[in-house]
């Protein structure tokens, strides 16, 4: 419905697992690589645990594509199988010559012979069990017995259990401890953080063919991250509904040439339309908050009656109380007389004998009042500038005026000269950075990461040339690489920045980018993905 309006080739936020839309952020890429290693090494049982909607099924689908052809996959979507049925289910998936009436011993023999034949041919078999937390304990024990099928050196059958956190609770049972001891690799799919959610949204939009950077405003991304609790399925639902809300109530951008981005009000509409957002505030939580407010009210009333409330309010709301003699503090020229209040026993009344301040004291008080700005409502002081600012200002005052001007002109001239050296060649900046990208991709390691600054369609060469010439720092310009990529039917220019050893280092570098580059909402990409796309383009 909204695809044409936002320039998309396909739906970016469908909840159906699509391996071509797999985002490696949030540690998913590292877990995928570790799973491939664990399966190909052929040791023990593997466990993957994650909350509902954390991306377990997507990981399962992408594993089917990324595993080598020598690995045969058996996928069990229904975990509620009895111990007697689990062997038949595996045999049916492997298309063995058995039926439901075949004796169990014969089925086991067929399965073992098939696994030995596959091992002799250099192939292996792995069983993926989805929703393993719902598998009966007896069936889990049967899984353990199947893992005993092995040669002297290798396991004949690999097993990967995908489940929710309840799976860990089931494995803590004493009668299943033998299976737990067989688990050699255990992975946890943690919820995405704010930066991961923002990276995920931008990645999915680009994979769907969106050529506009910053379609989702940063505040909208933060709202989606909070409302979704970092769960990928919820992110997809909220982002899809937010796009629909922006399409249903479009706002023309300032240029008038393209639709405005998805903002907080569109996300609010999406949150209000989701069932999971309505169940976040639980009755028990409401009761606890009510009890806390009740205790706080009782304590406030008790304190209010214990002390003279009117004098307290007067002293807080009157700024001059901080500087005049209304505070009963004994000092030179003042005398505080305490005597019993006649209105009741045990009460004290403080009377202050105030002397009229001298003209010099009044002058000093006016100076202090001018220097300190106090809000009579909130009574908050204005923040002082940092000490470094005062020091630099004083240093500048001590320097002769002519020297200040000469040094400023020298710095400006040096910066301009360096920038001119970069752009003063025969080719355009766009062509220079494109050639640099070609050489860079020939020697870069696929395990490293980079930062994507922006992407635009193939006709945006003039825009990229202007973008490059506006970069003030020559060192930043030398780290920028421009590549051509094909996303769907769209031929696009993609602007990349530098290379980093790990995804964490790259994410920290995003925050350290100059302000002129952060405004394009950059995100982290794997260089293996960039290299794969460019090799396909070269073919």
Question: Do both 205 and 138 map to the same domain?
Answer: no
Of 159, 189, 219, the residue at which a domain comes to its end is 189
Q: For 371-380, what is the mean pLDDT?
A: 39
Q: To which H or E segment does residue 179 belong?
A: helix 177-182
Return the minimum-mean-pLDDT range out of 80-89, 141-150, 254-263, 523-532. 254-263
Residue 270, pLDDT > 70, answer yes
Higher pLDDT, 305 or 396: 305
Instruction: Supply the pLDDT for residue 412.
Output: 47
Higher pLDDT, 318 or 485: 485
The pLDDT tens digits of the residues spanning 444-493 come to 888 888 999 888 877 778 888 888 888 878 888 888 999 888 776 777 88
The pLDDT tens digits of the residues spanning 158-169 come to 999 999 999 999
Q: Helix/strand/coil (H, E, C) string of 370-400? A: HHCCECCCCCCECCCCCHHHHHHHHHHHHCC
Higher pLDDT, 318 or 106: 106
Q: Is residue 230 assigned to a domain? A: yes
Q: Is residue 369 assigned to a domain? A: no
Residue 533, pLDDT > 80, answer no
Q: Is residue 344 assigned to a domain? A: no
Residue 86, helix vs strand vs coil: helix
Question: Do both 222 and 264 map to the same domain?
Answer: yes
Residue 119, pLDDT > 50, answer yes
Instruction: Supply the pLDDT for residue 304.
Output: 57
Q: For 313-332, what is the mean pLDDT?
A: 45
Cβ-contact 85, 199 below 8 angstroms: no
Cβ-contact 471, 480 below 8 angstroms: yes
Q: Is residue 290 assigned to a domain? A: no
Q: In the structure encoding, which two tokens stand for residue 491, read together?
A: 């031929």
Q: Is residue 363 assigned to a domain? A: no
Mean residue pLDDT of the chain comes to 76
Q: Is residue 329 assigned to a domain? A: no
Q: For 264-282, what is the mean pLDDT?
A: 77
Beta strand 449-457 pairing with 490-500: antiparallel
Residue 365, pLDDT > 70, answer no
Residues written for the chain: 539
Instruction: Supply the pLDDT for residue 401.
Output: 44
Instruction: Supply the pLDDT for residue 80.
Output: 86
Instruction: Supply the pLDDT for residue 54.
Output: 93
Question: Do both 516 and 531 map to the same domain?
Answer: yes
Of 189, 220, 255, the residue at which a domain comes to its end is 189
CA 79 from centre of chain: 32
Longest alpha-carbon distance in the chain: 111
CATH of the domain at 135: 3.40.50.300
Question: Do both 77 and 130 map to the same domain?
Answer: yes
Cβ-contact 451, 481 below 8 angstroms: no
Question: Do both 205 and 170 map to the same domain?
Answer: no
Instruction: Supply the pLDDT for residue 470.
Output: 85
Q: Is residue 497 assigned to a domain? A: yes
Question: Which of 51, 321, 259, 4 shows the shortest CA–CA distance to 166?
Answer: 51
Residue 323, pLDDT > 70, answer no
Instruction: Supply the pLDDT for residue 250.
Output: 61
**Phi and psi for 23 in degrees, rounded to 5?**
-105, 130
Looking at the DSSP bridge assignments, the partners of residue 208 are: none
Question: Which of 163, 171, 228, 166 shows the shortest CA–CA distance to 189?
Answer: 163
Full DSSP string of 329-348:
---TT-EEEEEE-TTSTT-E
Q: Is residue 19 assigned to a domain? A: no
pTM: 0.58
- Cα torsion for 355, 360, 361, 363, to the nearest 10°? 130
Q: Whole-angstrom Cα distance, residue 156 to residue 215?
A: 49
Question: Do both 181 and 62 map to the same domain?
Answer: yes
Q: To which H or E segment does residue 485 belong?
A: strand 480-487
- Residue 52: pLDDT band with limits 50, 70, 90: very high
Instruction: Supply the pLDDT for residue 298.
Output: 77
Which residue reads 């038949």 in tokens? 88
Question: Which of 258, 43, 288 shows the shortest CA–CA distance to 150?
Answer: 43
* Percent of the chain surpassing pLDDT 90: 31
Question: Do both 120 and 251 map to the same domain?
Answer: no
Residue 334, pLDDT > 50, answer no
Q: In the structure encoding, which two tokens stand for residue 127, read together?
A: 């069983």
Q: Whole-angstrom Cα distance, residue 380 to residue 397?
A: 31
Higher pLDDT, 328 or 303: 303
- Residue 416: pLDDT band with limits 50, 70, 90: very low
Which residue reads 């809300």 in tokens? 245
Q: For 85-103, what is the mean pLDDT?
A: 91
State the Cα angle at 89 between 87 and 93, rounded to 5°: 115
Instruction: Supply the pLDDT for residue 173.
Output: 86
The pLDDT tens digits of the residues spanning 229-260 come to 999 999 999 999 999 998 887 654 444 445 56
Cβ-contact 133, 163 below 8 angstroms: yes
Instruction: Supply the pLDDT for residue 372.
Output: 40
Q: In the structure encoding, which two tokens stand for residue 68, read together?
A: 């080598």
Q: For 266-283, what is the mean pLDDT?
A: 74
Q: To which H or E segment does residue 47 belong?
A: strand 45-50
The pLDDT tens digits of the residues spanning 198-238 come to 999 999 999 998 877 788 999 999 999 999 999 999 999 99
CATH of the domain at 529: 3.30.70.1070
With both helix axes pointing from N to C terminus, report the angle between 83-93 and 137-146 in degrees, rounded to the nearest 10: 50
Higher pLDDT, 132 or 394: 132
Which residue reads 């998309």 in tokens? 8
Question: Do both 59 and 130 map to the same domain?
Answer: yes
Of 150, 169, 189, the residue at which a domain comes to its end is 189
**Phi and psi for 467 in degrees, rounded to 5?**
-60, -45
Residue 496, pLDDT > 60, answer yes
Q: For 345-350, what is the mean pLDDT?
A: 42
Q: Domain range for residue 489?
A: 427-538
Cβ-contact 239, 197 below 8 angstroms: no
Number of domains in the chain: 3
Instruction: Supply the pLDDT for residue 536.
Output: 67
């Amino acid at each position: 419905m909204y695809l044409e309006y936002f320039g998309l080739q396909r739906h970016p936020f469908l909840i159906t697992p699509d391996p071509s839309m797999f985002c490696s952020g949030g540690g998913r890429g590292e877990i995928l690589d570790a799973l491939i290693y664990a399966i190909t090494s052929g040791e023990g049982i593997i466990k993957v645990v994650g909350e509902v909607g954390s991306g377990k099924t997507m990981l399962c689908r992408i594993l089917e594509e990324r595993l080598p052809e020598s690995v045969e996959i058996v996928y069990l979507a229904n975990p509620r199988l009895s111990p007697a049925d689990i062997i038949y289910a595996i045999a049916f998936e492997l298309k063995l010559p058995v039926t439901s009436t075949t004796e169990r011993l014969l089925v086991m023999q067929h399965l073992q012979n098939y696994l030995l034949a596959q091992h002799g041919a250099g192939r292996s078999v792995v069983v993926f069990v989805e929703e393993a937390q719902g598998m009966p304990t007896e069936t889990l024990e049967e899984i353990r017995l199947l893992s005993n099928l092995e040669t002297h050196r290798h396991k004949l059958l690999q097993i990967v259990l995908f489940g929710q956190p309840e799976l860990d609770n089931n494995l803590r049972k004493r009668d299943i401890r033998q299976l737990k001891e067989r688990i050699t690799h255990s992975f946890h799919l943690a919820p995405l953080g704010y930066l991961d959610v923002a990276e995920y949204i931008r990645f999915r939009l680009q994979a769907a063919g969106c050529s506009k950077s910053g379609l989702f405003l940063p505040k909208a991304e933060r709202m989606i991250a909070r409302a979704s609790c970092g769960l990928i399925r919820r992110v997809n639902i909220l982002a899809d509904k937010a796009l629909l809300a922006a399409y249903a109530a479009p706002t023309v951008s300032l240029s008038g040439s393209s639709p405005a981005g998805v903002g907080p009000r569109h996300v609010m509409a999406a949150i209000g339309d989701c069932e999971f957002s309505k169940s976040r505030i639980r009755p028990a939580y409401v009761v606890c908050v009510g009890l806390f407010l009740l205790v706080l009210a009782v304590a406030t009333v008790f304190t209010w009656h214990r002390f003279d409330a009117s004098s307290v309010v007067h002293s807080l709301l009157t700024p001059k109380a901080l500087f005049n003699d209304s505070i009963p503090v004994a000092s030179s020229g003042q005398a505080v007389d305490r005597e019993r209040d006649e209105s009741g026993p045990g009460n004290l009344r403080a009377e202050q004998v105030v002397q009229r301040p001298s003209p010099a004291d009044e002058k000093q008080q006016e100076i202090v009042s001018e220097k300190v700005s106090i809000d009579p409502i909130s009574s908050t002081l204005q923040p002082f500038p940092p000490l470094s600012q005062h020091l630099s200002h004083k240093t500048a005052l001590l320097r002769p005026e002519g020297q200040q001007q000469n040094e400023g002109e020298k710095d400006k001239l040096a910066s301009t000269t360096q920038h001119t050296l970069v752009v003063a060649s025969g080719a355009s900046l766009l062509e220079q950075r494109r050639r640099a990208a070609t050489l860079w991709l020939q020697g870069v390691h696929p395990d490293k990461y980079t930062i994507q600054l922006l992407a635009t369609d193939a006709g945006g060469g003039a825009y990229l040339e202007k973008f490059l010439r506006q970069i003030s720092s020559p060192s930043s310009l030398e780290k920028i690489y421009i590549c051509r990529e094909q996303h769907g039917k769209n031929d696009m220019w993609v602007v990349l920045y530098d290379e980093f050893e790990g995804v964490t280092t790259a994410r920290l570098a995003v925050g350290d980018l100059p302000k002129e580059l952060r405004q394009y909402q950059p995100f982290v990409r794997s260089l293996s993905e960039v290299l794969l796309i460019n090799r396909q383009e070269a073919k």
